[in-house]
Amino acid sequence: MKTLPLRFTLAAVAAILVSSAVAQRPLCEVLMRDGRMLPADGLVRGAGDVLQLVRATGSETVSFQAVLAVLGTRVQDSALPAAHLAKGDVVRGLLVGGDVAGDTLLLQSAVLGRLNVAVERLECLVLRPEAARARDLVMPEAATEALFLPASLGFDRQTGTLHQFGEAGIRFQPEVDKAPRWFAPRELIGLRLSGALPPDQPAVAELCTRAADRIGLTGFVFEGATIRCRLEGDVEVTVSLADLGCLLRLDTGVVMVSGLEPVRVVEAAFDGDALMSWQRDLAVSGSMLAASGRCYARGLGVHSRSRLQFVVPPGVDSFHTRVAFDDSALQLPVRGRVAIAVRIEGVGKPTEFELAAGGAVQTVGPLEVQPGQVLSLEVEFGAGRDVGDRVDWLLPVFLPTAAAK
């Protein structure tokens, strides 16, 4: 990956040290491939493969290539409109404009600032997240563009043609109308478009912000207490570590388990059918994955009882994950307790331990695996049966063999 030019001064280092001396909790934690979690208040990319972790008590250097992710603060639930783009990117912000030709919409993000979003990349625009999620806005059969308006029960779908985004909202022509008209955002629940295109540049990292943006980066540079990020279209934004949810490196050969299809899923409540089904890259409640106040970009959200089984892919030789109760479970009137097990086909002794809500995040691995084996991630009922058992498998990954690293 080509890095952007480094701009970091001694004065910036001094400012970080002063601020971190006051704060008890480090701004971020760096998750290494070997499972170590290293605290830092600033990050500086040095020459070659060196990454410097700046702290009030000094600094430590690590291999940049050995870094899996940088974890920041917990993502806040957002009531801002959400633009869902092809390949999973999400930008949240107020709709403040667009171009006359109807090719772009302009969003005011709480962290990323003003961003022009290409309409050809847009799958869905959710204007009232409290009323619906993107998956709820299902396109009518044979339609290519549809508005979703509030109704006495659920919402009303109007198919038609999108013309333009602007300060006034969305200019759209329903099929039953002879001309387009403006719909104010407060009148709408959302918009769905078909045929969205993927980004034209591959992402080298995924950024999650505290405002619940999730967006691919084509380049990034650590600049002490900030990260300079390059988005698609060579747009540059600067994100403070205080606004960072998670930065996940998308290295070739590293396989995210949440991107695989399980070969077997077993879910059940203590007295019957599963209370909540497993979620991919979200907590089982549908919120961003969070544990001990830190955000995790990828993982699996489950509820007991849960057993997810995956075939180990080719080109890897180890597995690593973190696991904890999701922070949302701490808002429940009961504290859950579960039994955790990680089983690898052909390996006699599984990794097993108990986990309680409010307890520390636990690390599993790295564990040796071989392609073709079946890996089973299991959460069983604890002393409280299944009450409050919201558990996250955090950044479960298969790491490449030495020859591929």
Indicate the domain borders of the chain. Answer: 10-71+203-249, 82-193, 255-404
pLDDT in the model for residue 69: 96
pLDDT digits (tens, 9 = 90+) for 324-365: 999 998 888 888 899 999 999 988 889 999 999 999 999 998
* Segments of the chain scoring below 50 in pLDDT: 1-23, 403
pLDDT in the model for residue 148: 96
pLDDT in the model for residue 345: 92
Superfamily of domain 255-404: NPCBM/NEW2 domain (2.60.120.1060)
Using CA of residue 289, residue 316, residue 202, residue 237, what is the dihedral sign? positive
pLDDT in the model for residue 402: 67
pLDDT in the model for residue 240: 95
Q: How far apart are CA 65 and CA 390, in angstroms?
A: 32
| The model's pTM | 0.88
Q: How far apart are CA 2 and CA 124, in angstroms?
A: 32
Q: How far apart are CA 182 and CA 165, in angstroms?
A: 9
280, 377 contact by CB (below 8 A)? no
Question: Which helix (H) or strand (E) is 85 found in, with range?
Answer: strand 82-85
pLDDT in the model for residue 63: 94
Q: Based on the number of CB atoms within 10 Å of its own CB, is 385 exposed (0-12), middle (13-18) or buried (19 or more)?
A: middle
pLDDT in the model for residue 13: 44
Q: Which residue has the tokens 């659920």?
A: 154
pLDDT in the model for residue 114: 95
